[in-house]
Amino acid sequence: MGYDLKVHKKAVKGCILNSRILWFFSNAYLLLKEDSLLFYARHAYSFLKDHCLDKENGGLYWSVTFDGHPEEKVKHTYNQAFGIYALSSFYDASGDEEALDLAKALFELVETKCADEYGYQEAFDEAFHIIDNEKLSENGIVAEKTMNTLLHVFEAYTELFRVSKDRYVAERLRFILDTFADYVYNRETGHQEVFFLTGSGIL
């Protein structure tokens, strides 16, 4: 939609935005129990499942064309986290086991392809080879890891654990909390650092 509030029907569709829309309508339905809200949640779910997911390599694309073909094939951990978050909420709203299975599959993918001993690598090509993390970097800094992504992975895993009670998800939540305590939180200044190198180094 432009500043003139006119919808550009052939605009590129961001997969993160689609996940946010899925999460919103799922939670709106859980609160208000209006069937129209679940209808819109199902619409967002169908588009995510049918067009945003890479059925060959796994994971969510960064963006797709207006009619659902891959536009930017970058795979970002931040993006996968929003998918887990949204799918978990949609499962809660709809009871659709397929949605929970997809959330678990994205969780396994993040743990298999993105995790290391210090946290989570962030930016990958479509086949999950590491690339520069330009999507979540700013002010001339290109960081390999960010507090922002780690926070959203924690958020996503929290929602997945809430609906699944999976012990391994709980274990990874503890790992993320330890990572925040050991590397992200600056005890001297009382704030969270933002950009990180591979391992524990702070930029």
pLDDT at residue number 137 = 75
- CA nearest to 92, candidates 41, 155, 43: 41
pLDDT tens sequence across 43-89? 999 999 999 999 999 999 999 999 999 999 999 999 999 999 999 99
Q: Per the domain annotation, does 8 fall within a domain? A: no
Q: Which residues of the chain have pLDDT under 50?
A: 203
Q: Per the domain annotation, does 104 fall within a domain? A: yes
Q: Per the domain annotation, does 3 fall within a domain? A: no
Q: Per the domain annotation, does 85 fall within a domain? A: yes
- If you ran DSSP here, which 8-state letter would residue 63 be given? E
How many Cβ atoms are within 10 Å of 122's Cβ, its own excluded?
28
Domain containing residue 117: CATH number: 1.50.10.10
Q: Per the domain annotation, does 6 fall within a domain? A: no
Q: Per the domain annotation, does 202 fall within a domain? A: no
Distances, alpha carbon 131 to alpha carbons 51, 55, 76, 94, in Å:
23, 21, 10, 36
Q: Per the domain annotation, does 203 fall within a domain? A: no
- CA nearest to 16, candidates 66, 89, 69, 84: 84
Instruction: Please name the amino acid found at residue 126.
Output: E
CB 169 within 8 A of CB 161: yes
Give the count of domains, the chain: 1
pTM for this prediction: 0.94
**Residue range(s) defining the domain that contains residue 70:** 13-196
Q: Per the domain annotation, does 105 fall within a domain? A: yes
